[in-house]
Amino acid sequence: MMWWDAGHWYWGVVMMVVFWGSIVAIAALVIRGRSNDVRRPLPREILDARFAKGELSEEEYARARATLEGTSVDRSGAPPS
């Protein structure tokens, strides 16, 4: 009869694993949620920044901007007026 009480400690171990597992899961969700709050720059913002840094010539900038906006560029590189 004394062996009946020996099995109850298993529930304690199971509950401890469930408790710590839920703590780790909540912490992971909170950390992951914070990383999603960072706003990614729009393509136009990236293009403007590259032009401001001098990575693109005026002609390259005008052509890329026209591509992003869905308009055409004439041979001089200037967008149509």
**Total domain count, the chain:** 1
Is 12 inside any structural domain? no
As a whole number of angstroms, the distance between CA 72 and CA 13 comes to 68
Specify whether the CB–CB gap between 78 and 60 falls below 8 A: no
Q: Helix, strand or coil for residue 37?
A: coil
**15 within domain boundaries:** no
How much is the pLDDT for 39?
77
- 22-31 long-range Cβ contacts below 8 angstroms, 24+ apart: none
Question: Would you say residue 32 lies in a domain?
Answer: no
Which residue numbers in the chain have pLDDT < 50?
1
pLDDT score recorded for residue 40 = 83
Domain-located, residue 56: yes
The answer to whether position 75 is within a domain reads: yes
Structural domain includes residue 73: yes
Domain of residue 80: give its range.
Answer: 41-81
Rounded-to-integer distance, Cα 66 and Cα 79, Å: 7
Across the chain, where does the E strand assignment appear?
Answer: none
CA torsion, points 54, 59, 61, 62, in degrees to nearest 10? Answer: 150
